[in-house]
Structure formats: structure tokens, C-alpha cells
């Protein structure tokens, strides 16, 4: 673990894996909830956690780098179910890369319980982990200039759902009508770090 100062009152903590980042994020949230850690923001990413609004970043950096992070406890949160039509334009390419049929891609994906490792890219976009490493898949060689809202996509070890139309290079395997980001909703984002997610097939696939 490495802790790097960011400005006067923030730390960027680097760890060696996504699992360690999730465990550290969970532990820091626990400490803040019990009152032993005073921090304004705790923001997880792929292999880092940013802490902003610290009174004594140097002291916390020394504490974190000299101790082990306990494993994250089992998540007890309810599962968010996202109805999905496995009708994406890259479904056949993903099937060829995996060496299975398009129907099998849909089955494997829908049989997996995902969790949101971190959020980013666009408001409401969660990076979901859960598929075994053998299903990692590269991004498209040429990104699309516009990916529609609700597109269910794969890239590397992650699944994601585009919350709004935007450029993107992920492999599109399906579509959901679920609204991922709604500024009139509290909270606005349907998915947040730690959320458990399942995709439920509907319609044709």
C-alpha cells in the first residue's frame, strides 16, 4: 500500500488490486461511520482510494501504510435487478471471443452476480465486477461516436451500463430501460460502490 499526498488535505492511497481497493473503501467507510476517521469524501477507483478533507493527512498515511486492511465483510445489501435485452451489436463478437454462442453469452452474463467496484466516466456509470477473468474482453479497436443510454457493455474485466448517450469503446451486448441517473431522485445514482447487481433477461436475446 502506498499513500500519496494530494494538495494540503487529501491522500491518494494505492493498492495492488481491485479487491484490495474495495476492502479499503469498506474499512474507511466503517471508520468514518464509527467516528474514528474524520474525512469529507472517500472515493474508490480501480486500484486507489482518494480521501479528501483530512485534518492530518501525514498521520493517516503513516497509519494506513503500516497496517493491513481487513477483508471486506460479505455484502448484505439488496440486489439491484436490471432487466436486459441481450440484443447488442457486439454480442456476436463477444461470443466469438469467448468461444461460445450468443445465447451462452447471455446465460453466463445473466447467471453472474456483479458488484459495483467504483463509479466514474459519467454520472451514474458503475464499473461492475463479477465475471471470471477468462471472460475479460478488449475494448473495440474503433470507439463509437455515440453509444445510446441503457447500453449494457463489457470491457476488460468490467460490465457497465451507459447512463446517457456518449462516445464509447466498450463491447455492447444488450440494452436496459432502467434509468441509471436521475437528478430528481435521491440518490440520483441507482448504483454506488458496493451495490450488488443482477441482469435479468427480458424479451428476445
- Strand arrangement, sheet containing 171-175: 79-84, 196-201, 114-119, 126-129, 158-161, 151-155, 171-175
Q: What is the pLDDT of residues 16-27, one digit of tens each?
A: 887 888 888 888
Choose among 122, 92, 109: nearest CA to 176: 109
Q: What is the pLDDT of residues 107-160, one digit of tens each?
A: 999 999 999 988 888 888 999 999 999 999 999 999 999 999 999 999 999 999
**Cα 30 to Cα 24: distance, rounded to the nearest angstrom:** 10
E strands present in 7-99? 10-14, 41-44, 48-52, 79-84
Q: Where are the alpha helices (DSSP H) in 35-117?
A: 57-65, 91-98, 102-110
**Does residue 187 have a cis peptide bond before it, meaning omega lies within 30 degrees of 0?**
yes
**Cα 22 to Cα 2: distance, rounded to the nearest angstrom:** 15
pTM of whole model > 0.85? no
pLDDT classification of 74: cutoffs 50, 70, 90: low
Amino acid at each position: 500500500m502506498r499513500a500519496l499526498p494530494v494538495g494540503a488535505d487529501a491522500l491518494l492511497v494505492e493498492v495492488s488490486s481491485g479487491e484490495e481497493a474495495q476492502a479499503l473503501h469498506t474499512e474507511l467507510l466503517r471508520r468514518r461511520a464509527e467516528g474514528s476517521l474524520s474525512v469529507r469524501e472517500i472515493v474508490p477507483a480501480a486500484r486507489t482510494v482518494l480521501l479528501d478533507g483530512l485534518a492530518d493527512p501525514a498521520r493517516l498515511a503513516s497509519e494506513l501504510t503500516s497496517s493491513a486492511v481487513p477483508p471486506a465483510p460479505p455484502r448484505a445489501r439488496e440486489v439491484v435487478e436490471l432487466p436486459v435485452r441481450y440484443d447488442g451489436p457486439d454480442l456476436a463478437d463477444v461470443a466469438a471471443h469467448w468461444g461460445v454462442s450468443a445465447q451462452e453469452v447471455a446465460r453466463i452474463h445473466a447467471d453472474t452476480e456483479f458488484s459495483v467496484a467504483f463509479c466514474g466516466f459519467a454520472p451514474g456509470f458503475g464499473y461492475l465486477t463479477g465475471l471470471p477473468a477468462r471472460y475479460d474482453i478488449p475494448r473495440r479497436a474503433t470507439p463509437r461516436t455515440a453509444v445510446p443510454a441503457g447500453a449494457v457493455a463489457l470491457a476488460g474485466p468490467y460490465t457497465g451500463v451507459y447512463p446517457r448517450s456518449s462516445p464509447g469503446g466498450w463491447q455492447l451486448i444488450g440494452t436496459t430501460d432502467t434509468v441509471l441517473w436521475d437528478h430528481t431522485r435521491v440518490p440520483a445514482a441507482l448504483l454506488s460502490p458496493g451495490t450488488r447487481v443482477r441482469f435479468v433477461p427480458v424479451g428476445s436475446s
